[in-house]
Amino acid sequence: MQSIKTTSISIIIPITNEEKRVESCVRRILSFCKEKEWDFEIIFAEDGSTDKSASIVNRYILSDHRIKMVNTPTRQGKGGAIISTALNIPVKDCIAYTDVDLAADPCELEKLIGYLEHNDIVLGSRLLSDDSVKIRRPFYRSVLSHVYSRLFRTLFRNSIHDPQCGLKVFRRDIVPKLLENVTVKGFAFDTQLIVTAYSQGLSVKEVPVNWNHGKFSKISLHHIKSMGLDLFSIWYNFHLLWKQSKACYPQKRGSAYGRMLFWLLSLSDEIKERNSITSIINKPTATDLSQSKLLSIDSNT
């Protein structure tokens, strides 16, 4: 494992129609990174916005060359925007991504990168118990997170409690191989990323963080259904890899439970179609990546 300078960081923030939140986000992260005297860059992964999000970020790009923006020509989803950005733009020693609502304040980044010297990936968690952190979020969101967490750990024999937390930090050297094998672009992107990391033998650390739920953050029944289908599709896809004797997540090999679940999921055309789509169609292509437009204007020019 290579030594890294943990204050050298690229922070990726995916945005789609976020004109109400993006300006406060820029100001807070920029202020924090300057205060800490980090070697940093802030990269907005702008994903098909139709509002003023891009123009707001552009104003800050003009005043600080460390702020950048990547525009993708077609809507890719949160996962797709992060993947295409992280594979091509960051130049710092570690890479982080966070949500534009800053439900986890930038100061939580400092906590996470403190663990990066001895781990490949450090995950923020809203579900790990710790008396030093405070979680403020609606009751129904907490219930959904706990249900998803239990299902995730049961399916993948995994100890991670909060795969969906929007704050994660990586060593830059592990990112290319990791993200090139992540195909889900929607809400379950984080889940496939973690399972892929374990299948590659990467070391993963989960750390409790303070969390203040954003008032604009919403989830619909459609999102809940889609996340559930994606979760089972990810399991189905990795089980196919295991049956082909390829590297896979830690699991009880050949269990009766696994064989029964695989058989049931194989009866679902939607799961199999989803598996095919996420493996072939949704993966960012060379064309997608080459067409991503980087906006970074040096304030000295």
- Beta strand 121-125 pairing with 168-171: antiparallel
What are the sequence ranges of the domains in the chain?
8-141+162-218+284-295
C-alpha to C-alpha distance for 284 and 84, rounded to whole angstroms: 7
C-alpha to C-alpha distance for 174 and 176, rounded to whole angstroms: 6
pLDDT at 279 over 70: no
C-alpha to C-alpha distance for 160 and 194, rounded to whole angstroms: 9
The number of angstroms, rounded, from the C-alpha of 190 to the middle of its chain's C-alpha atoms is 5
- Beta strand 39-47 pairing with 8-15: parallel
pLDDT at 272: 75
- Please state, as a whole number, how many other Cβ atoms lie within 10 Å of the Cβ of residue 177: 11
pLDDT at 58: 95
C-alpha to C-alpha distance for 47 and 84, rounded to whole angstroms: 11
Residues 166-207: pLDDT tens digits? 999 999 999 999 999 898 887 789 999 999 999 999 999 999
Report residue 243 as tokens: 């049956």
Q: In the predicted model, what is the mean pLDDT of residues 276-280? A: 42
Task: Specify whether the CB–CB gap between 237 and 249 falls below 8 A.
Answer: no
Return the CATH number of 8-141+162-218+284-295, one of 3.40.50.620, 3.40.190.10, 3.30.2030.30, 3.90.550.10: 3.90.550.10
